Structure 1
Amino acid sequence: MKRQAGYATVAPQQLAALAGISRLRRWYELYQQRHLLAQLGDAALKDLGLTRADTYAESARPFWDDPLRK
């Protein structure tokens, strides 16, 4: 089978490595978001409709516990 000019091929190993990198990025984002949430003041939490207990519960979750992952 001929390759079409202008199209790059990606090996399965490269796809797996890219998926691993994107997962690491997502975990780091979750860590940052939870850390920032824990630092919010009471007025900001009230604006968001959250309590201090909500922020403690969320920031205590491990970084790999991704709510968007199904």
Structure 2
Amino acid sequence: MSSLLLNASQSASNGVTLPRRAGILRQATRAISTYTTRRATRRALARLDSHLLRDVGLEPQHARQEVAKPFWLS
């Protein structure tokens, strides 16, 4: 019975250990969260008019450049 249990330090059938899988999952979750935040922030930035952009210290041209970036670029 104990041989059927997979110890965290043992490799799974594909050779990736469970702690490593957890780390990969954690990185993927963090990346998705970052991408979602960037997308939402850039959409909000796109809705601001030039007066509000200057009020927060941004030039409209700089804001347009930021909004035009794909979500995976920082």
Answer yes or no: same fold by TM over 0.5. yes
Of the two, which has the highest radius of gyration? 2
In the other structure, the counterpart of 1:4 is none
**TM-score, with length taken from structure 2:** 0.69
> CA-atom RMSD, angstroms?
1.7
User: Structure 2: which 5+ residue stretches go unaligned?
Assistant: 1-17
User: Structure 1: which 5+ residue stretches go unaligned?
Assistant: 1-9
User: Which digits, 9 at most, give the CA deviation of each residue in 1:11-62, with x for residues without a partner?
Assistant: 1111111110110110110011111011112221111222221111000011
Which of the numbers 63, 67, 72 marks the counterpart of 1:55? Answer: 63
Q: Which amino acid aligns with 2:45?
A: L
Moved over 3 A (4+): none
Query: 2: CA distance between counterparts of 1:44 and 1:52?
Result: 9
Query: 1: CA distance between counterparts of 2:28 and 2:54?
Result: 37
**TM-score, with length taken from structure 1:** 0.72
Higher relative contact order (CA 8 A, sep 6+): 1
Q: Give the length in aligned residue pairs.
A: 58
Q: Which amino acid aligns with 1:30?
A: R
Query: 2: CA distance between counterparts of 1:33 and 1:45?
Result: 13
Q: Which amino acid aligns with 2:59?
A: T
Query: 2: CA distance between counterparts of 1:37 and 1:55?
Result: 7
Query: 1: CA distance between counterparts of 2:51 and 2:65?
Result: 18
